Amino acid sequence: MKTSSRRKFLFNSLALTSFPFLSSGIQGCTFQKNKLELALQIYSFAPLLFQNKLDILMFPQMIKENYGINAAEYWSIAFMGKEKDKSFIKELQTRSKEYDIDNLIILVDNIDLKTMENGPSLASSEKAERDQSLSFHKYWIDTASEIGCHSIRVNLRSDESDDNKVLDNSSESISKLIEHSKGQGVSIVVENHGGITGDADWLVRLMKNINSDFVGTLPDFGSYNFCVERGDLDFEGLTSKCKNQYDKYIGVKKLMPFAKGVSAKSHQFNKSGEETSTDFSKMMDIISSSSYEGFITIEYEGAMMKMFGGKGDYLEPHEGVKVTKKLINKYI
């Protein structure tokens, strides 16, 4: 089934679902499939992108010919500012169709690569900042729609100490984004990305508070993704220690009913090919036991950890992706 027809099927299915949080066989599902399929996140190759050794336009062909994978996830940073170039976006979509690649999600990070500072946040206590962030994300919604993605992932940073206020501000912002996105069949997903979103209970509250078919979670296996007390959502933070760790297995289980994707993050592997920080067998059992049907996305982060001074035996991007793919296939 081609990307356009899949997105039309998804949109029509969502339109028929009036009560998204009732117990149902389609609860939380992005695609109705009989099995789990693999996708690949371009973030896995972040060092190559930063070194100008990989162009995003090469991605559809690369994942099809090098890995035999038919679905792609993207990262806003990987566009390197070209997301405003309409001819570039059209070419990316053309190449995706040429290689029969389904484009799924864009991970949107509002980071200035020159200063490494975060931009305005959707969860800010300042309305003016939230409005700025809304404008920024609306553009990415349009980009996601143009290349056939079903969702964008947003971040929720806040210095507010009252979790309920962060919940209200985040709910308001995401609801406004949905007003913009739903007509294009694009959803807003929130990953457990450290900080308040690393608390799966808070994230579930957010899903229920917004209560829309066009919002969902993106469960990520990373331990640091479930670190409730962490610094800024920046690259240097990848190698720092966590003070308040939420149990990742409990967290993923709680987020799966609302999932519109799954991020199988990996870092290091032992001699048997098992990931050293995550029990993939246990994680796959959790996913298989949920109502979720759709894509599990390979997100190898080891190369980025190495790039930012992480101590460990990290593989290069291509090798890390191959080992992660083999590990997932072992358990699904």
Domains of the chain, residue spans:
28-331
Q: Cα separation of 167 and 163, whole Å?
A: 6
SS3 assignment, position 298: strand
The phi-psi region of residue 112 (left if phi > 0; otherwise alpha if psi is between -120 and 50; otherwise beta) is beta
Q: What are phi and psi of 218, to 5 degrees?
A: -130, 80
Query: Hey, which bits of the chain come out as E strands?
Result: 37-41, 71-75, 102-107, 111-112, 117-118, 151-154, 187-191, 215-218, 262-266, 295-300
Q: Is 2 exposed, middle or buried (0-12, 13-18, 19+ CB in 10 A)?
A: exposed
Predicted confidence pLDDT, tens digits, the chain (332 residues): 444 444 443 444 443 333 333 333 333 444 344 479 999 999 999 999 999 999 999 999 999 999 999 999 999 999 999 999 999 999 999 999 999 999 999 999 998 877 778 899 999 999 999 999 999 999 999 999 999 999 999 999 998 999 999 999 999 999 999 999 999 999 999 999 999 999 999 999 999 999 999 999 999 999 999 999 865 555 555 666 888 999 999 999 999 999 999 999 999 999 999 999 999 999 999 999 999 999 999 999 999 999 988 888 999 999 999 999 999 999 99
Q: How far is CA 9 from each of CA 4, 15, 100, 119, 137, rounded to the nearest angstrom?
A: 9, 10, 17, 35, 25
pTM greater than 0.75: yes
Cβ-based neighbour number of residue 88 at 10 Å: 16
Tally of residues, the chain: 332
Helices H / strands E in the chain, number of each: 11, 10
Q: Cα separation of 92 and 61, whole Å?
A: 11
178-209 core/surface letters (b: 16 or more CB in 10 A; e: else): beebbebbbbbbbbbbbbbbbbbebbbebbeb
Q: Cα separation of 146 and 155, whole Å?
A: 21
Report the topology of domain 28-331: TIM Barrel (3.20.20)
